[in-house]
Structure 1
Amino acid sequence: MTLIDRQNHRKLYVQLYDIMKKKIEDKEWPFGFRIPIEEEICNVFEVSRATVRSAILELVRQGYLTRQQGRGTFVAKKVISDKLTMFTTFGELMLEEGIDYSTDVLAQTIMMPVDDLADKLNISEDKHVIYIKRLRKADYKPILIQETYIPFHICPPLLEEDVQKNSLFELLEKKHGINLTEVRNYFDVTYLNADEGMLLDLSESAPALVLTQRFFSGDTQIMYMRSVNGTDKYKFFIELKRKAL
C-alpha cells in the first residue's frame, strides 16, 4: 500500500489525493464503491481529518467521487478524462481573429517561491523561479494580465530572452528544445484587485475570469501560468469532441 511520504515537499492532502485517485483509476475502488469513512482514512494514513476532507473535496470537484447525504461518499459512475490538447499562443489567436496586438513586459526576474507556488510548480521551496508578468493588448487596449512561473533550472537563459516579441512556447520548444506535451487548465471566477483593475482599465472589484495552467514535458512540470481578464473584454472558447462509442 502506498503511504504518505512526510519527507516529500508536496502537501499531505495532495499526496493523499493522488493515492485515492489511483485506487479509483486502477479500479481497486470500482464504480459505486463506498469509500472508507474519514476516521478510518485518518488512521490508515496517519493524517488529520482536515487533510482527508481536503483530498476528498478535490476528488469530488474533479468528478471522481460523489457524496450522498446520510449514506456516505461513493466512487462516481464515470471519471471525466478529456483534456484540452492544443496549445495556442496569444499571438496566434490574435492573428487568427485579424486583431492588432502588442505586449508590455511588466516584470522579468528571478524569485523564490512564495505561498503555495512551490506546490503549483512541484518543486522544493529552496528552488529559484523565473517570474514573467505581461500585459496583453488587442487593438491597443489592455485585455489580459499574464503571470508565468518557470523553475529556473528548467531554462536559465529564459531570464534574458525577449518575451515581448517572442512566444514563450516557441522560445522553449524551438530555441531551447523543451517540448511541451500536456497542459492542464483550470477556470475560476474572481474580482479584480486594485492593481489588476488599473492595468486592465477597469474598476476595482469588477468580475474577472481566471485561467490557471500547468504545462508539462512528459512527466516534468515546466511552467505554471495565471491569466486574468475582464469578462467584458476576453472570452475563452473550448471545443470538446465526443469519442465514438
Structure 2
Amino acid sequence: MLQLDKHSKVPLYKQLKEALLEYIEKNLKEGDALPIESEIEKLFGVSRITVRKTIEELASEGIVTKTQGRGTFVQTKNIVQKAGNITSWTEEMRLKGKQTETKNLMVNEIEPSKKIAKELQLSKGEKVICLKRLRCADGEPISILINYFRSKFTPGFLEKGLTKESLYEILEEDYGIQLERAHERVKARLATDLEALELGISPDSAILHITRVSYLPDGTPFEMVEMANRSDRYEYDIDLVGRNKLKTFTAEGE
C-alpha cells in the first residue's frame, strides 16, 4: 500500500486518493464497502477533513458511491449503450453479460394520446398496444420501459402476451416485423415519485429520459418507446463524424 509523505508538495488528499485507488484495485470488487472514515484516518495518519475530501472526489469520479447510514462502496460499473444501432434492451444486456429480469409487467390495448398519435401518424380510431416493464440487470432495477406499437400490425399479441424477454425478437419471429431505422431524443430530468420508487433511487434523482420512434422499411412509423433510465447506472456512447468527413459527405450529396 502506498505510504503518504507529509513533507511532499503533493497535497495529502491527492496522495490518499492514490493510496485508496490502489487499495480498491487490490482488495475490493464492485459493491464492496470501503473502511469507515475513522479507520482510514488511523491507517494513513490523516485528518477526517482530508478523508472526506478524498472520498468526495472519488465519488464525483464515479469510483465509489456513498449511501446515507450504510457507508461508502465501490461503484458498480455503469451500463453503456452504444448509440446508432436498433437493439432491444435485452440484447444490450446480453452483450454485456448481464442477467435480465422483467418486473411490474403491464400490457393493454389503449387509445393513444395526441403525442403518440402524432409521432406514429395514426389514423383516427387506430389503437396501440402499451407494454410497460421495469427492467432489471443482475437483480438491480435499471430502466422503466414503455413501448407503444400499432395494434393492427400485431394481431393476437394481447392473447399471447410477452412470450420472451425481448419484444423485438417476438416482433421479428412471430410477425415478421423488421425495424429499419429509428430516431431518439435524450434529455436529463428529475425522476417522478413513482419512478424513484420503482427504480429504488432517492426522490428527485436525475434520470435519462429517452424517446424513440422506430420505422418499418417502407417508412411507416411503427413504435414509440419511452425509457426512464437511472443516470447513475446508465450511459450513452456516441461516435461522431469528423468535420472533414462531414464536409466530404455534404459535397458528395450536392
TM-score by length of 1: 0.61
Q: Please state whether the residue corresponding to 1:127 is helix, strand or coil.
A: coil
Q: For 1:82-137, what per-residue CA distance to the aligned partner results, in whole angstroms no more than 9, with x for missing partners?
A: xx642222222212212222112521011101242211221135211100001110
Q: Please state whether the residue corresponding to 1:94 is helix, strand or coil.
A: helix
Q: Please state whether the residue corresponding to 2:236 is helix, strand or coil.
A: coil
C-alpha change, 1:231 and 1:172, in structure 2 (3 Å) is same
Q: Larger RCO: Structure 1 or Structure 2 (Cα < 8 Å, ≥ 6 residues apart)?
A: 2
Q: Does 1:220 align with 2:220?
A: yes
Asked whether the equivalents of residues 104 and 164 of structure 1 are also in contact (C-alpha less than 8 Å), the reply is no
Q: For 1:181-231, what per-residue CA distance to the aligned partner results, in whole angstroms no more than 9, with x for missing partners?
A: 011111111111111111001122211111110010021111000010121
Report what 1:167 is aligned to: 166
Q: Which runs of 5+ in 2 are unaligned?
A: 1-82, 249-254
- Counterpart AA for 2:224: Y
Q: Does 1:90 align with 2:93?
A: no
Cα distance in 2 for residues equivalent to 1:235 and 1:198: 21
Q: Which runs of 5+ in 1 are unaligned?
A: 1-83
Asked whether the equivalents of residues 110 and 130 of structure 1 are also in contact (C-alpha less than 8 Å), the reply is yes
Asked whether the equivalents of residues 144 and 230 of structure 1 are also in contact (C-alpha less than 8 Å), the reply is yes
C-alpha change, 1:159 and 1:96, in structure 2 (3 Å) is same
Report what 1:32 is aligned to: none
Q: Please state whether the residue corresponding to 1:197 is helix, strand or coil.
A: helix
Asked whether the equivalents of residues 213 and 225 of structure 1 are also in contact (C-alpha less than 8 Å), the reply is yes
- Percent identity, please: 28
C-alpha change, 1:91 and 1:116, in structure 2 (3 Å) is closer
Structure showing greater Rg:
2
Asked whether the equivalents of residues 213 and 226 of structure 1 are also in contact (C-alpha less than 8 Å), the reply is yes
Q: For 1:144-203, what per-residue CA distance to the aligned partner results, in whole angstroms no more than 9, with x for missing partners?
A: 000010121121222234436331211112221112101111111111111111100112
Q: Does 1:234 align with 2:243?
A: no
Asked whether the equivalents of residues 109 and 130 of structure 2 are also in contact (C-alpha less than 8 Å), the reply is yes
> Which has more helix, going by share of residues?
2
Q: Please state whether the residue corresponding to 2:136 is helix, strand or coil.
A: strand
Cα distance in 2 for residues equivalent to 1:140 and 1:157: 31
Cα distance in 2 for residues equivalent to 1:136 and 1:106: 9
Matched residues, number: 162
Report what 2:62 is aligned to: none
TM-score by length of 2: 0.59
Q: Please state whether the residue corresponding to 1:156 is helix, strand or coil.
A: coil
Cα distance in 2 for residues equivalent to 1:93 and 1:158: 24
Report what 1:109 is aligned to: 108
